[in-house]
Amino acid sequence: MRFKRVTVFCGSNVGARPEYAHAARGLGRLLAQRQIGLVYGGSGIGTMRELAASALQAGGEVVGVIPRLLVEREVAYAGLPDLRVVDSMHERKALMADLGDAFIAMPGGLGTLDEFFEIVSWAQLRVHEKPCGLLNVCGYYDRLVEFLDHAVEQQFIKPENRLMIEVDGTAEGLLDRLGTRRTG
């Protein structure tokens, strides 16, 4: 499957390890090299900035989607060629979902997890049939993957729904895995 754009959820912080920012820059460059547009949260801070800046520097298309509330706090990426300002977090998530052909969560916090799991829930409900994956930089998501597998064992997540979430430690590997499947 060829993606026009990939929506990436990631942090407004760079995290405790330099590998997180390095991975964000690498994913941004890789998307540009593969001529895949980036959709992200529109922020000019954290791994979000690293991701967007590297994609732009490599000549890629970058679409930022940010709620007005965050623009007013001066966290929007200044000078981003395509920054779409929306009225709420709900509108942000809906537009990011519409614009992307696949979804990746990089290491991040509660907002990243909220965005990613809402998208996965929508896939489970067949609202969309777009692939979803976790970029497991330095094992960041190992415990979450263990929990998801535990939830399957405890019969709260159906095995086929757990399989909707691809996991890979490299951007190249994850993009390749996402490109070979759809959720439906």
Residue 181 has pLDDT above 80, yes or no: no
What was the pLDDT predicted at 25?
98
Round to whole Å and give the CA distance between 55 and 117. Answer: 25
Please return the burial class of 74, using the count of CB atoms within 10 Å of its CB with bins 0-12, 13-18 and 19+.
Answer: exposed
**What domains can you pick out in the chain, each with its CATH number?**
5-139+165-179 (3.40.50.450)
Position 150 scores a pLDDT of 98
**pLDDT tier, 72 (very low <50, low <70, confident <90, very high otherwise):** confident
Instruction: Using pLDDT thresholds of 50, 70 and 90, give the confidence band for residue 73.
Output: confident
Residue 37 β-bridge partners: 5
In this model, does residue 182 exceed pLDDT 60? no
Separation CA 135–CA 1 (nearest Å): 19
Percentage of the chain exceeding pLDDT 70: 98
The pLDDT of residue 74 is 72
Lowest mean pLDDT segment, chosen from 8-22, 79-93, 169-183: 169-183
pLDDT band of 79, cuts 50, 70, 90? confident
Please state the separation of Cα 71 from the chain's center in Å.
20
Q: What is the pLDDT of residues 12-27, one digit of tens each?
A: 999 999 999 999 999 9
Mean pLDDT of 58-79: 93
pLDDT surpasses 90 at 76: yes
pLDDT at 1: 66
User: Residue 45 gets which letter from DSSP?
Assistant: S
